[in-house]
Amino acid sequence: MAASVGLHIGAMFPAYPGSPATPVVQVPYETAVYICLEVGWALAALAVLTRWSPRGGVALGAGLGAVEVGLVVTDLTIGFQVSNGSAAGIWLAIAGLASGLAGVLYGAGTAPPVTNDTRLARQEPFSHPYSQPAYSEPGSQTPYPGPRPATISTVRALLSAMVAIVAVAAFWPSWDHYHLVYATGQVRDINLGNAFNQPTAIMAGEIVAGLAIGCAVVVAAFWRDAVVGAWATVGAAIALASQVISGAVQVREPISQLLGTPNTAEVKLSASRVSLTGYWYVDLGATVALLLLALWAGLEARRTRPKPARAAKKDLAPA
């Protein structure tokens, strides 16, 4: 995973697929995507290497990597269409993704060591206030403990699934709205970026990325270990955030650069503009909601986690 971070950084400097092929560092909205991906893989590597949350780091990498597969397929397809795959940046990006996923697979197949605290916790049944009945008996001094954890977890999982569906539904339509005013006085309003209006291979990459976001979040929401599920949700949210941030950066670029020099000959650039559609705002809200739901799941799991039982003191009195 640490190697994945380095390879993603290296992919930003050679030629990268585009029209024409340009290094990522020279294209602000592509740079935004790669910074988000690098932050995600760095966080996953940090969680594993510092033993902060090894399973969580693996889960984060799984959620992030699943979505990145679709993004890389799209860029690779563009690379073959424009430069016959000669742009070196995309190959470094693929190597970075492969390295990260290799770390995920290795981590998923490696069981974490069982510590003494875990053994002690298994010796004593865990009793939490939430395990009491939802309502106290008449005349009982037992306070009302509130909703059961199972009910809270179910509600949170259903909310996560709903947000995931909304995020995927808003991920594929057009995000960019072009208001073009021509020298002849003609005015055109065009929406670009619809995944289903792209060439077949590019459309496939967009569909894979969208489905990966939805599947990762839904599976994570119902995962038995809420902490692992929360980390996986964060991974998918970071991947979605990379696209949301990239879209916000892209519409602030000069319209002549977005349209390309040959297409601006008859366009009044001073009267034309680019804006974001409502679908972008929906995915912005979905990104924030997913991060908040992941934080909720992590905090709730930490609060209800059983504490290790204390070892019994040995009787040192003489026989």
Per-residue pLDDT tens over the stretch 81-107: 877 778 899 999 999 999 999 999 999
User: Which range, of 35-39, 94-98, 107-111, 268-272, averages the lowest pLDDT?
Assistant: 107-111
Q: What pLDDT does 216 receive?
A: 96
Average pLDDT in the chain = 84
Span 220-246, average pLDDT = 95
Q: What pLDDT does 254 receive?
A: 86
Per-residue pLDDT tens over the stretch 269-308: 888 899 999 999 999 999 999 999 999 998 887 776 655 5
Is residue 120 over pLDDT 50? Answer: no
Per-residue pLDDT tens over the stretch 187-224: 999 999 999 999 898 999 999 999 999 999 999 999 98
Which pLDDT band holds residue 20 (cuts at 50, 70, 90)?
confident
Q: What pLDDT does 271 receive?
A: 84
Long-range own/partner contacts, residues 113-118 (CB < 8 A, 24 or more apart): 117/308, 118/308
The answer to whether the CB of 34 falls within 8 A of the CB of 23 is: no
Q: To the nearest whole percent, how much of the chain has pLDDT over 70?
A: 82
Is residue 57 over pLDDT 70? Answer: yes
Is residue 131 over pLDDT 70? Answer: no
Which pLDDT band holds residue 127 (cuts at 50, 70, 90)?
very low
pTM of the predicted structure, to 2 decimals: 0.83
User: Which range, of 121-130, 225-234, 284-293, averages the lowest pLDDT?
Assistant: 121-130
Residue 124 to residues 32, 88, 115, Cα–Cα distance (Å): 50, 57, 15
Span 37-46, average pLDDT = 97
Q: What pLDDT does 307 receive?
A: 55
Task: Let me know the angle formed at the C-alpha of 147 by 308 and 302, rounded to the nearest 5 degrees.
Answer: 30
Q: What pLDDT does 303 receive?
A: 74
Span 26-39, average pLDDT = 95
User: Which range, of 119-123, 175-179, 289-293, 295-299, averages the lowest pLDDT?
Assistant: 119-123
Distance in angstroms (rounded) separating the CA atoms of residues 243 and 54: 27
Is residue 37 over pLDDT 60? Answer: yes
